[in-house]
Structure 1
Amino acid sequence: MEPSVLFIHPDLGIGGAERLVVDAALALKSRGCRVQIWTAHYDVKHCFSETIDSGIPIRCCGDWLPRNFFGRFFALCAYIRMIFLAFYIVFLSGEAFDVVFCDQVSACIPIFKLARNRKRVLFYCHFPDQLLTQRISVAKKIYRAPIDWVEEKTTGMADCILVNSQFTAKIFKDTFTSLSDIEPDVLYPSLNVDNFQPGVSEGLTELVPAKRKAVFLSINRYERKKNLNLALESLCTLREKVSLQDWEKVHLVVAGGYDERVTENVEHYQELNDLAVKYDISNHVSFLRSFSQKQKLCLLQNCICILYTPSNEHFGIVPVEAMYMYCPVIAVNSGGPLESVVDNVTGFLCAPSHEPFSDAMEKFIKDPSLRIRMGKSGHTRVLEKFSSDAFSHQLYQYICKLVE
């Protein structure tokens, strides 16, 4: 009998972590596993389409609990929500399952160990949570100290720990010093290629003027840590490097995950719009919020290059999606892109500065055939290194070992 796997995730919205959870659930379902996803928040208007169409049960519990107190204590609230969700699953839901797939918040792991039939837990570490926030004040350091301790101790309670890249594996070892005896395995996120089948291109007439044939694309959430400013600064610098005729062909589309509940999303979206006006490039930039999969495919088919601006990104699925769609990538030369993008082959790896980024962008303006050559190389690399079959097989083996 195939294993039964329960996924538990804080907020099943739209993001890299959510993309992996959904793909992992689909991968195990394709292997015959019984799969269900439990979450503290789920909105059918702000989710991946597969959560609606795949037939995987989605259970939501604990959304009545606060996400913050007066705009603060987000981490504490996230821990409380996940602990409550785990308690409900174990002691009140009546659900039967063999393995728990947990990610992002490890604080719920001890609850599954308290179950009458002690559950086996697989924890997928996208990145240590304690490194995702700055400790500016003494009060913040005091507040985070017990949360960081809980994260490290509960992470170590998992029966199997996976990370999304060699980069994250090193950060894991450097951060969780008390877990030095644990060697996390790397399971690269994969691409569900069924969602990226090129269709008939509809063009970008709603977003981009018809005369703009050199379209650059940025895909990332509207968060300051994603350094979307770099895309605008690079576009501004590019204007000084190309002829007026070439400049009139250039356009940038900034497409990002956007949730009105998240203050930073709302604020940063406006900040970027203001920055485009400040640089006098607003008529060469379009901003798109919470786009559909159909819109994403259309953008990837019609752009000449992806600008991937975060530094020290844990993995970054966007470059992989772009390369599969024959679209080259200009990315910051740190973190996950060092493992996904091959410099001068599938794109360019650059220092996080507008000068090298604009230099790379200029190459695509001067040599349009570069998009075709690098696009083919990128597509081949995804098939060889990030296939859904390899991801599915590897994950299934981990689940089976836990059950045995």
Structure 2
Amino acid sequence: MAEKTTREATSKTIFFFHPDLGIGGAERLVIDAAVGLQNRGHKVVLFTSHCDRKHCFDEARDGTLDVRVGGNTIIPPSILSRFSILCSILRQLHLILQVHLSPELRALQPDAYFVDQLSAGLPLLQLLRPRGRVLFYCHFPDLLLVQGRGRWWKRAYRLPFDWLEQWSMGFADAVAVNSEFTKRVVRRTWPGLARRKDLQVVYPCVGAAAAADKAQGDGVEGPGDSEPLWGGKKFLLSINRFERKKDVGLAIRAFAGLGADARRGVRLVLAGGYDPRVAENVAYHRELARLAEALGLRAMTAQTHPTALEVPDDVEVLFLLSVPHRLKAALLASARLLVYTPAGEHFGIVPVEAMLAGLPVLAAADEGGPTETVVDGLTGWLRPAADPPAWSAVMHHVLHTADPAELAALSRAGAARARDRFGAHQMARRLDDVLDGMLRAPARTWSWTPTAAAGAAALAVLAAVAAVVSRALLLLAYSPRP
């Protein structure tokens, strides 16, 4: 009873703002953060500009969280598959205005705002909020994620957005990051911001999602918890979104490097987030399929749960697109090794999920979150991403030469590390502490004269870009058809 009274006395109302509640690492973190804070007695409302009930995590659609969609009636997600960053910023500003103008939502008087991915709306949020403080969660500097900067027009187009990202992050009352690696990158990228902000590390968690997977399933008939997939066939597992930066091709090249004899009776399963609306997902999946074919590997793609369970035995590389939760849990329970290929990954939740399931992990040793989560020789192996033969050697060891006692020890150590360092309760408590510290700190005062000038300049640039886009659309709409 005492604990309940304490929670009620310190209960907070927290508004979350996230651009798109799809299926990905950032979305998983936001969902876990919201659920964790809600379980600690706080009132949580999650706002987003897009949430497809067929392509989101269970907690966003089953009533666990209060999810509200807005800011999506004027600006589309992209224009001719371009200008997605501009559209995302304008949708965020629209969403913040919508929330501010709602008497029902204003009456809730939030104590804190949790914003991630897009910082552009923070100045507007600080200007409009009647009370409360703003926490920005930086998964990684967006300016370092943009591809195609080799072209001058791409660099020129991105300049105002790069400036806006750093400038607007300065309006956060506190900034959190997802790993020590990201913290170092933020300090190098924005030294001025790092001097003004105390960057707090809040690791993503596992546990809540795994428990939901086991308890809820996905409403589709499939293997039970104790039934191995494909009749107990040996397989190696990769779980990543179908994006080039994930370097899934490394897993295919390392698997091919095993040789025909070592691959006999073994399969490589490449599962992960796949959205047919995203051109890169579609194109990269095709590239990977061609790579497997070029290396002499028989590949197949399964897009449904039943198809995934009925794969011919001679298929060596299996692509599973957007696997449902229950199948993902079964994959982690039955695989021999998780092959996690991204180098320089900001955090990487999948290796921690694998360790929690008792599955050893092979990950890139270069730099990134997995070097903080995977302990070489204790919970798995870390190997350079530029050395596929070293990855092939680990695969061969796990499949053919490892002692069962060694693999059992790796399994136990990985599960213990995942529970003790990256559990849902640990993440929620850490985030709650960061919010409490932010709310106890003296309120900042904002000088709105220079702010307004800088903001007006930023909006002028956005308006200019929007005008160019609108002009291009008009020319396209009224151009003669062949």
Q: What amino acid sits opposite 2:187 in the alignment?
A: K
After TM superposition, give the deviation of residue 158 of structure 1 in Å.
Answer: 0.4
1:85 aligned residue: 95
Asked if residue 194 in structure 1 is aligned to residue 211 in structure 2, the reply is: yes
Matched, 1:102 2:102: no
Match of 2:14 in 1: 5
Question: Which has the larger displacement, 22-31 or 279-288?
Answer: 279-288
AA of the residue aligned to 1:70: L
Matched, 1:367 2:380: no
Aligned-partner Cα distance in 2 for 1:201–1:381: 23
Are 1:167 and 1:335, in contact at CA under 8 Å, matched by a contact in 2?
yes
Q: Which residue in the other structure is 1:123 paired with?
A: 136
Contact 1:253 / 1:287 at 8 angstroms: preserved in 2? yes
Alignment partner of 1:47 is 2:56: yes
Does the CA-based 8 Å contact 1:5-1:33 persist in structure 2?
yes
Query: What one-letter code is carried by the residue in structure 2 that aligns with 1:316?
Result: G
**Aligned 1:115-154 pairs, distance under 5 A:** 115=128, 117-134=130-147, 135-154=149-168
| Structure 2 unmatched runs, 5+ | 1-8, 216-223, 299-314, 441-482
Q: CA deviation at 1:88?
A: 1.2
SS at structure 1 position matched to 2:289: helix
Deviation at 1:86, TM superposition (A): 1.2
Question: Contact 1:3/1:400 (CA < 8 Å) preserved in 2?
Answer: no
Q: Report the TM-score, using the length of structure 1 for normalisation.
A: 0.94
1:258: which partner in 2? 274
8 Å Cα contact 2:135/2:172 also seen in 1: yes
Between the aligned partners of 1:71 and 1:297, the Cα distance in structure 2 is 34
Distance 2:63 2:432 in 1: 19
Map residues 287-306 of structure 1 onto 2, 5 A cutoff.
287-306=319-338
1:320 paired to 2:333: no
Displacement of 1:270: 1.5
For residue 369 of structure 2, the aligned residue among 330, 333, 336 is 336
Distance 1:144 1:289 in 2: 31
User: Measured at CA, do residues 179 and 219 of structure 1 come closer, stay the same or move farther in structure 2, by a change above 3 Å?
Assistant: same
CA-to-aligned-CA distance 1:159-210 (integer Å, 9 cap, x gap): 11100100000001111132131230111111125236596233323xxxx4
CA shift for structure 1 position 72: 2.0
Match for 1:387: what amino acid?
Answer: G
Q: For residues 34 and 393 of structure 1, what CA distance do their matches in structure 2 show?
A: 15
The percentage of counterpart residues that share the same residue type is: 40
Alpha-carbon distance, 1:268 to partner: 1.1
Shift of 1:291: 0.9
Give the Cα–Cα distance (whole angstroms) in 2 for the partners of residues 116 and 399 of structure 1: 17
Higher-RCO chain (CA-CA 8 Å, sequence separation at least 6): 1
Is the Cα contact below 8 Å between 1:127 and 1:314 reproduced in 2?
Answer: yes
Q: In structure 1, which of residues 203, 206, 210 is the aligned counterpart of residue 228 of structure 2? A: 203
Residues 200 and 434, structure 2, Cα contact 8 Å, conserved in 1: no
Taking the aligned partners of 2:437 and 2:201, their CA distance within structure 1 comes to 16
Indicate if the aligned counterparts of 2:111 and 2:131 stay in contact, CA closer than 8 A.
no
Match of 1:394 in 2: 430
Structure 1 gaps, min length 5: none
What residue number does 2:31 align with?
22
User: Structure 1 residues 93, 293: closer, same or farther in 2, change over 3 A?
Assistant: farther
What is the CA-CA distance between 1:94 and the residue it aligns to?
3.6
Counterpart for residue 348 of structure 1: 381
Give, as a single letter, the amino acid of the residue that structure 1 aligns with 2:416. Answer: T
Call closer, same or farther: CA 1:74–1:125 in 2, change over 3 Å: same
| C-alpha RMSD of matched pairs (Å) | 1.7
- Deviation larger for 266-275 or 167-176: 266-275
SS at match of 2:21: coil
Between the aligned partners of 2:276 and 2:226, the Cα distance in structure 1 is 30
Structure 2: which amino acid aligns with 1:288? L
Q: What amino acid maps onto 2:80 in structure 1?
A: F
- The alignment partner of 2:320 has SS state of strand
What amino acid is aligned across from residue 307 of structure 1 in structure 2?
V
Aligned residue type for 1:115: L
Bigger proportion of residues as helix: 2
Q: Does the 8 A contact of 1:3 with 1:399 survive in 2?
A: no
Q: Secondary structure at the residue paired with 2:61? A: helix
Once the two structures are TM-superposed, the CA of residue 136 in structure 1 deviates from its matched residue by 1.4
Query: Alignment length, in residue pairs?
Result: 395
> 2:169, 2:154 → 1: CA distance?
22
Bigger Cα Rg: 2
CA distance in 1, matches of 2:182, 2:323: 28
Asked whether 1:268 is paired with 2:287, we answer: no
